[in-house]
Amino acid sequence: MTVNTAKLGGTASNVTVAKVAHGLMTMTWRGSEPVPDEQCFEAIKAGIDAVPPGAKMLLNSGEFYANDLGTGNLELLARFFDKYPSYADKTFLSVKGGVKSLKPDSSPENLRRSVDNINAVLRGTKRLDLFECARVDQNVPIEEAIKTLAGLIKEGKFDHIGMSECRAETLRRAHAVHPIAAVEIEVSPWSYEEEVKKVIATSQELGIAVVAYSPLGHGFLTGAIKSINDLPKDDSRRHLTRFGEDYIKHNLTLVEELKAIAAKKGCTPGQLSIAWVGSLGAKVIPLPGSSKKERTLENLAGGDVLLTETDVSEINEALARHEVKGDRYFGNSEAAHLWG
């Protein structure tokens, strides 16, 4: 397998990563019991091993990625790098933080607490390459939050600043204070609203990488989910609006078209979605999650699927014909702190 690569932006513009990143959230925050360490380690290691020399695997974690909203995901990473210390230099670690009880808190005190906590849990096994506030705190001007983070960089606590779930205007304001290396937003064939397009365009203008989370629509675009009953009873996706019985049947019509296009391309529907997201820009990096080695490698191969102009047009026409029903989370964008 030939793994394509991409460059990050801002202060990390000299960093080359795999075109498809690896989201780690579902290893420890999934509603059900966490995945065994060895299975997770195999999934992480397989992705890193596939990356060409000179490039790194972008790993995406969070300070609160655990069923108890604790540091379980970071603890898992520390155990991984304990076992495979040579893999630390082969990865670029991005961690979300800056929240309290899942609410944004970009006060200087909380940002320092968050960064210090992340580093303490990592125990020196891996450098914190990039820190990003998981959501934009509307009570703190973005300029002040970025100034705080820039100060923590000067103290040597981490290296690069990222953004998450922010509007294009907010991204521009943040970048004016300190170069932003990457912005993390949801991008997929069923999450391609106007603000997504604006953020991608602004990122291209400013040279910022776009880390596109949920490129598989939380798994829906793989074609494996045809009913809410296909999800375990404790699966958190049952609470997402688009997975409700009122919407899922309608939204499946888009998936069926994508499956047909994928069959013609000789790839899986998931790989087609990843390829489409990646086609949106040289610095657009799909971020699917995976806790299985086989899925990690399948996702990576999606970054190697080359879409022709005809392919892209066919996919875009399918998106235009099938308007997705339901919002991205659970019917309350304000409570989800989207587009800060």
Positions marked catalytic:
65
Q: Is 230 part of a structural domain of the chain?
A: no
Q: How far apart are CA 57 and CA 23, in angstroms?
A: 11
Cα three-residue angle 269-295-67, rounded to 5 degrees: 110
Q: Residue written as tokens 């049947």?
A: 249
CATH number for 36: 3.20.20.100
Within 10 angstroms of residue 172's Cβ, the number of other Cβ atoms is 18
Question: Considering the domain boundaries, does residue 106 fall inside one?
Answer: yes
Q: Determine whether 275 is exposed, middle or buried from the number of CB atoms within 10 Å of its CB (0-12, 13-18, 19+).
A: buried
In a domain, 90, yes or no: yes
CA angle in degrees (0–180, nearest 5) for 9-10-12: 70
Contacts of 273 (CB under 8 A, 6+ apart): 188, 189, 215, 216, 217, 221, 222, 258, 302
pLDDT at 317: 96
Q: Provide the pLDDT for residue 335.
A: 52
Q: Does the residue 245 lie in any domain?
A: no
Do the beta carbons of residue 215 and residue 274 sit within 8 Å?
A: yes
Is there a domain that residue 300 lies in? yes
Running along the chain, 340 residues long, what does each successive block of 10 average in pLDDT? 92 98 94 87 98 98 95 98 99 98 96 99 99 97 99 99 98 99 96 96 99 93 80 72 80 92 96 98 98 97 96 96 76 61
CA-based nearest residue to 240, from 258, 260, 219, 222 = 219
Task: Give the per-residue pLDDT at 260.
Answer: 96
| 316 domain residue, yes or no | no
Q: Report how many domains make up the chain.
A: 1
C-alpha triplet 104, 109, 113: angle, nearest 5°: 80
Residue 317: CA atoms inside 13 Å, Cβ hemisphere, count?
8
Residue 149 in domain:
yes
Range of the domain at 287: 5-219+271-306
336 within some domain: no
In this prediction, residue 326 carries a pLDDT of 73
Q: 3-class DSSP state for residue 90?
A: helix
The pLDDT score that the predictor gives to residue 327 is 72
In contact, 186 and 157? CB cutoff 8 Å = no
> 283: which 2 tokens?
């610095």
- Judged on CB neighbours under 10 Å (0-12, 13-18, 19+), 228 is middle
Where do the DSSP E strands lie in 41-179? 57-62, 91-97, 99-100, 103-104, 130-133, 160-164
